[in-house]
Amino acid sequence: MKQPVIIVGSGLAGYTLAREFRKSDNETPVLILSRDHGGFYSKPTLSNALATGKTSTSLLISSAEHMAEKLKVAIRPYSQVTIIEPSSKTLVLLDGAKLHYSQLILALGADSIDLPLKGDGVKMILSVNDLDDYHHFRCKLEGKKRVTILGAGLIGCEFANDLATTGCHVHVIDISSQPLGRLLPQAGGNFLQRKLEAIGVVFHLDVAAQHVEKVGEFLRLTLSNGKIIDTDLLLSAVGLRPRIALAKAAGIEVNRGIVVNQLLQTRYPDIYALGDCVEVEGKVLPFVMPIIHAARALGLTLGNKPTQVHYPAMPVLVKTPACPIIVSLPNPNTKGEWQIEENKDSIKALFQDTEKNLLGYALLGLATAERAALTARLPPVMQ
C-alpha cells in the first residue's frame, strides 16, 4: 500500500495545501494530523470577532469530518507529533503510535511569545492564538469591562479596536514609541494612535510591564515607569514565534523558522514546510497571502510538477475600522526614505529609493483608496 502524504497542522497552511494538492492528484492518500479538534476557521477573524457578533462556535467554518469528506483526506484530531525520523520516514505521536510517510509537510504554525513578567498574576495572562484560546478569552470576558493588552503591534491594535468598539475600557502597553512600530513610519503610528484614542483606547508607550499581582477578582499591573493599572483581563499580544523545536530535534535546519528553499523543501528531499513556521530564503512572512502562494506552489510540487514559490507584492490589511490601514513593507535592508503626505483624514506614506522607485507604502484612512494603483508599481517580494 502506498504510504500517505502527511501534513502536520490543520490551520490555513495545512488545509490550503491539501486543497491545492487535490487539484492535481486525487489518488495519493493524504493524512492531516491536528493538535486540536481539526476544524477549519479563519484565524485572522479572531481579533475582530467581538464587534461583528461572532462567537467561537459561529467562527468555525467546517468540522474536521466535513473537511475530510470535502478534500478526500483523512484527518486525525488531537494527534501531536513528538519525533520525526527522516531516515525511516517515520513519525512518532504522543500516544506512541508510529506513522510512515511518503512525503511530509510541516505546517506547524507559531506560538505566542510570553513576556518575562513577575508576580502571582502571571498565570492569569491570556493569549489568543487559536479558536480554543478565543473561546477561553470570551468566557473570561463575560461580565468584564477592563481589558489591558500587552503589545501595540498588529494583533494588539486589532483587539484594542474590537474591544473598545463593544464598550470595554482598553489600555495598551508597548515598549515602542508608537503603535504598529514594525509596520508604520512614526507619522503613521501617531495617526493610528489618535484614531484609537478617539474611541477610548488608552496607550502607554515607551514603557514595559514588569509585575502582575492578583488582587481579588482583578489583576494589578505595574509598569516600568511606576504606573499601576488595575484590570479585569490581561491579554498578551506581543508576537509569535515559529514552532521549530520538532524540526530542530530531527536534524532539520532552523533559524528564525524552519529553513526551506523556494521549493519549500528542507535539507531532506521528502520533507517540506510552509506557513507561520517557515523561513523561505531568509524571509519569515506570517500573513495570509504568503501562505496562499506557498500552498499553490507546493501543491504542484507534490503533484510531480516542481514549482518554486514566488511572492508578488502582498499588502497587509490591518483590521482597525477606527483607522483603516493597508501596508506593503519594503524588503528588509532596502535603502530608501519615507515620503509622507498627511491631512486630518489620511496619511499616504511612500517608501522610495533615490531614483523615486516605489518600494513600499503605508496607507491610512482615506488614502487606502489608492491601494490598487500603488500595489501595481511595487516590486515582487521574491522573484
Query: Residue 342 CB: number of other CB atoms within 10 A?
Result: 16
Residue 382 in grid coordinates: 521574491
On the question of pLDDT at 374 being above 80, the answer is yes
On the question of pLDDT at 383 being above 90, the answer is no
Domains and CATH numbers, the chain: 5-111+240-302 (3.50.50.60), 114-236 (3.50.50.60), 324-375 (3.30.390.120)
154 vs 130: CA distance, rounded Å: 16
pLDDT at 370: 97
Give tens-digit pLDDT for 290-307. Answer: 999 999 999 999 999 999
User: Do 23 and 299 meet the contact criterion of CB atoms below 8 Å apart?
Assistant: yes
Residue 331: pLDDT band by 50, 70, 90 thresholds? confident
User: Do 99 and 47 meet the contact criterion of CB atoms below 8 Å apart?
Assistant: no
Interstrand relation of 98-100 and 90-93 (parallel, antiparallel or unpaired): antiparallel
Average pLDDT estimate for 80-94: 98
> What is the three-class DSSP state of 29?
coil
Q: What mean pLDDT value characterizes the chain?
A: 96
pLDDT at 332: 79
Identify the H or E element spanning 30: strand 30-33
On the question of pLDDT at 324 being above 90, the answer is yes
Residue 72: pLDDT band by 50, 70, 90 thresholds? very high
What angle, rounded to 10 degrees, do the helices at 154-165 and 186-198 form? 20
On the question of pLDDT at 138 being above 80, the answer is yes
Give tens-digit pLDDT for 241-262. Answer: 999 999 999 999 999 999 999 9
309 vs 173: CA distance, rounded Å: 37
User: Do 307 and 327 meet the contact criterion of CB atoms below 8 Å apart?
Assistant: no
pLDDT at 129: 96
pLDDT at 136: 97
Closest CA to 325 of 372, 362, 377: 362
163 vs 50: CA distance, rounded Å: 7
pLDDT at 2: 85
pLDDT at 334: 86
